[in-house]
Amino acid sequence: MESTSCPEGIEIENSNHYFDGVELEALAQEYGTPLYVMSETIVRRHCEALRESFLRRYPGTRAYYASKAFQTLDMLRIIKDEGLGVDVVSGGELYAALKAGVVPSDIIFHGNAKTDHEFRLAVEAGVGRIAVDNLEEIYRIEREAARTGKTQTILFRVTPGVDSHTHRFISTGSLDSKFGIPLEPVETTRYIEALAACPHVDFAGLHFHVGSQLLENTSHLAALRVALGFAARLARDFGLTVRELNMGGGFGIRYLPEDRAPALSEFVDPLMAAVREWSAREKLPLPACAIEPGRWIVGEAGLTLYQIIAVKEIPGVRTYVAVDGGMGDNIRPALYDAKYHAAIVGRTRDQGASVGRGEAAGHGRAQNRSSVVESNVATASERPFRTVTIAGRYCESGDILVRDASLPEPRPGDILSLFSTGAYCFAMASNYNRVPRPALVMVKNGKARLSVRRETYEDLLSRDI
């Protein structure tokens, strides 16, 4: 998170690249490519920074990790160990969180189209909060809670009508949004009537989330003003107290060396000051505040390793560098025009063997090692830099990972790293073109452990009848 030109956690020694103390070329040799690599040290460091700038600084606050950004059992256990709650948005994410041992009351369940089955799972498990996204949900939660003899605590997810300065697909707070409850007075009354008719539903407060990858605090502050105005109206017109205020996630990170990501305190300090000032002015109790960062915790903790398969020069136009992954393991450039920083971090010693190795079943560690043969190709640091386009392997022209990457003369067999891929890459991966999804390795202080194994061709057919 500090502003150096090297991505967080990367150290270069004798032109070898180390991430959290583990040599990246060795990881590619051992586990194959494409390969997601996550640094446990960075994840934990960010959790500590979150505690320092928010939880400890403002007693009574809570933080939920937005697990949609990156969810594995391994990661959920780390989050639990770090004492954070977990935000889930589906029955599947909830199931995994419970399997990982997350305490149900530490879970907040979101979604704009929750099914009855998901409500049943959530209420039966005893999740701490459900963020209500539409009127009917109040009655549906009531049915489920009454059936199980429980009281379910809820928040209203409100649409603050704020346009965040981010890509329109990751902007969620503007009025014309599929997420959240519009704050029209007539609408509001219907929600309050529903609460009165649902004795098993306990209204705790409000939630808003304005968008993702925000590099300024202005949208959060504007949304907060709207939410607090609504909270005052609830107190005045309906005698309803907002005990909790969840201000969502969206805190931006550094993707490119030239990016400047604000510190978390640049978001939360003015937000907390505004809440305190509102409470004093309105003479209303200070709500317990929460945030839900996803990307901010994991984005810079991850990178993806690829092997360069082909280099194709179109004279006078551009040079395409095709790698063995792409939109199947990282949809963000195609979906959001997301930008990434890339570097060559080593070479595959036996290109033919490793191409298949990354994909097929039964290629364990021992076999991978045996395919390594020494090569005397010049290391990347000795080659002149060129501007190239890094293309994925999928059958879509839009499958471009980086449009203008500056790389030392890329060659087939080179190992390429894309940095800051920890958020919304693994989580959004697909099997397009029947390409197996990559393995995921966690690194920590010089040690690596397989966290999610590579998919096999058999996995790909396992659901076909």
Contact residues: ligand PLP, CB under 6 A: 66, 69, 87, 110, 172, 209, 212-213, 248-251, 292-296, 423
Contact yes or no for 260/284 (Cβ under 8 A): no
Tokens 């950004």 found at: 69
Nearer to ligand PLP, 294 or 358 (CB): 294
Nearer to ligand PLP, 173 or 436 (CB): 173
Q: How far apart are CA 394 and CA 112, in angstroms?
A: 31
Structure-token pair, residue 39:
């640094």
CB of 124 to ligand PLP, least distance (A): 22
User: Using only C-alpha atoms, what is the Rg of the chain?
Assistant: 24
CB of 299 to ligand PLP, least distance (A): 8
CB of 420 to ligand PLP, least distance (A): 13
Nearer to ligand PLP, 293 or 325 (CB): 293
Beta bridge partners of 315: none
Nearer to ligand PLP, 22 or 170 (CB): 170
Task: Specify whether 395 is catalytic.
Answer: yes
Tokens 């550094």 found at: 254
CB of 296 to ligand PLP, least distance (A): 5
Q: How far apart are CA 224 and CA 275, in angstroms?
A: 8
Cβ-Cβ contacts under 8 Å for 137 (sequence gap 6 or more) = 114, 119, 130
Contact yes or no for 50/251 (Cβ under 8 A): no
Choose the catalytic residue: 47, 289, 395, 425.
395
CB of 424 to ligand PLP, least distance (A): 7
Q: How far apart are CA 413 and CA 345, in angstroms?
A: 11
* DSSP β-ladder status, 302-314 and 400-408: unpaired
Write down the H helix ranges in 134-184.
135-148
Q: Within 13 Å, how many C-alpha atoms sit on residue 9's CB side?
A: 31
Active-site positions read 395
